[in-house]
Amino acid sequence: MRAMILDAPRRPLRAAEVPRPEPGPGQVRLAVTACGVCRTDLHVADGELPDPKLPLVLGHEIVGTVAATGQGPGGDRFRTGQRVGVPWLGWSCGACRYCRAGRENLCDRARFTGYQIDGGYAEHTVADARFCFPIPDAYSDLHAAPLLCAGLIGYRSLVAAGDAERLGLYGFGAAAHIVAQVARHQGRRVFAFTRPGDAAAQQFALELGAEWVGASDVPPPEPLDAAIIFAPAGALVPVALRAVAKGGTVVCAGIHMSDIPAFPYDILWGERVIRSVANLTRNDGEEFLALAPKVPVRTQVEPYPLERANEALENLRAGRVRGAAVLDVDGRTGRG
Ligand SMILES: [Zn+2]
Ligand SMILES: [Zn+2]
């Protein structure tokens, strides 16, 4: 099969023909149709996340059809030909104190798709059937892919923001363009912050229901009740703390961030909260994939052929993607 291979961090992905993986016990093999390109893929490729499996197939927003099922319990959860999605959480132990408390996103032994497990930048992939989701019928393969991480982890971040009415979103990429739609559906007011001078992203945010847009170095017109930081820039943490009212929460949604600069205690005082959001639980996935068609969340995607994955990653790095970059792995753009 064709695959894009990461041989080592800080090297471009290499197009290669590799053996097709076969499903083990409890696994399914998917014929991949689409795979989203997430900022976390850049963090893995850039060596900012330690100890990836090498060589590695990136990609954890996978949509495909079940081509084969493995023996053993769980392998028969889906039937051949069924369309399913594979998210970032690829496996959890089920036994540690986090797993037993419904917090498998924090599992001590969790394994992640496109990091410790080969992912979806390939024509086929295998996944533990227990961690896959059926894809809502309302979405094409390409449009469903961003739901699986930008959507899921964006949704978890929105829940972590509490019942905030005035919501700030720092970084208006794949996750924010989905979260803005869900937040508006919930009756919240959305304030979007972009890189200074990024008029295209600001216009995009307005189209998706933001009532105010501005550069991240500009204070909002009124205090916010919560802010979610999607951009991997630690310098935004004190900026967002200054933008939230007393009792407000700042949610750091990314898996990696540059260092957070020192800041005076008085911007945290007043029961302001800083927290991170880590990974996802299967419960997040079930909730969000049931909610998305009701909003309805419409994803905006930029398709790339599998062989152009490096270009998709570079465009994401440069902030040139409107919505989400998605690899059109089987080359059938627009299929329903
Ligand atoms: Zn566990
Ligand atoms: Zn992701």
Give the pLDDT score at 71. 87
- Distance from residue 333's CA to the centre of ligand 2 (Å): 22
pTM of the model: 0.96
Give the pLDDT score at 336. 37
The segments of the chain whose pLDDT lies below 50 read 334-336
- The answer to whether 57 and 119 have CB atoms below 8 angstroms apart is yes
- Distance from residue 102's CA to the centre of ligand 1 (Å): 10
What is the C-alpha separation between 72 and 85, in angstroms, rounded?
Answer: 21
- Distance from residue 151's CA to the centre of ligand 2 (Å): 9
pLDDT digits (tens, 9 = 90+) for 272-295: 999 999 999 999 999 999 999 999
Q: Is residue 334 part of a domain?
A: no
Q: How many C-beta neighbours within 10 Å does residue 20 have?
A: 15
Question: Residues 207, 114: one domain?
Answer: no
Question: Residues 105, 159: one domain?
Answer: no
CATH code for the domain of 90: 3.90.180.10
Give the pLDDT score at 333. 61
Strands, E assignment, the chain: 2-5, 14-17, 27-37, 62-69, 83-86, 89-91, 111-112, 124-128, 133-134, 166-170, 189-194, 212-215, 224-229, 244-252, 273-276, 301-305, 324-328
Q: Is residue 39 part of a domain?
A: yes
Q: Is residue 89 part of a domain?
A: yes
Q: Is residue 179 part of a domain?
A: yes
The count of structural domains within the chain is: 2
Question: Residues 128, 200: one domain?
Answer: no
Q: Is residue 335 part of a domain?
A: no
Question: Residues 134, 161: one domain?
Answer: no
φ and ψ of 270, to 5 deg: 85, 25
Give the pLDDT score at 76. 80
Question: Collapsing DSSP states into helix, strand and coil, what is residue 65?
Answer: strand
Q: Side by side, which strands form the sheet with 224-229?
A: 212-215, 189-194, 166-170, 224-229, 244-252, 273-276
- Distance from residue 96's CA to the centre of ligand 1 (Å): 4
What is the C-alpha separation between 260 and 274, in angstroms, rounded?
Answer: 12
For residue 281, the ligand closest to its alpha carbon is 1
The sign of the CA dihedral 30, 65, 2, 303 is: negative
What is the C-alpha separation between 9 and 162, in angstroms, rounded?
Answer: 37
Question: Residues 126, 189: one domain?
Answer: no
Classify residue 188 as exposed, middle or buried by CB count within 10 Å of its CB (0-12, 13-18, 19+). buried
Give the pLDDT score at 73. 77
- Among candidates 145, 155, 153, which has minimal Cα distance to 121? 145
Q: Domain range holding 313?
A: 2-148+280-328
Render 124-163 in DSSP notation, one character per residue. EEEEEGGG-EEPPTTS-HHHHGGGGTHHHHHHHHHHHTTT
Question: Residues 312, 200: one domain?
Answer: no
- Distance from residue 150's CA to the centre of ligand 2 (Å): 6
Question: Residues 268, 216: one domain?
Answer: yes
Question: Residues 238, 290: one domain?
Answer: no
- Distance from residue 3's CA to the centre of ligand 2 (Å): 19
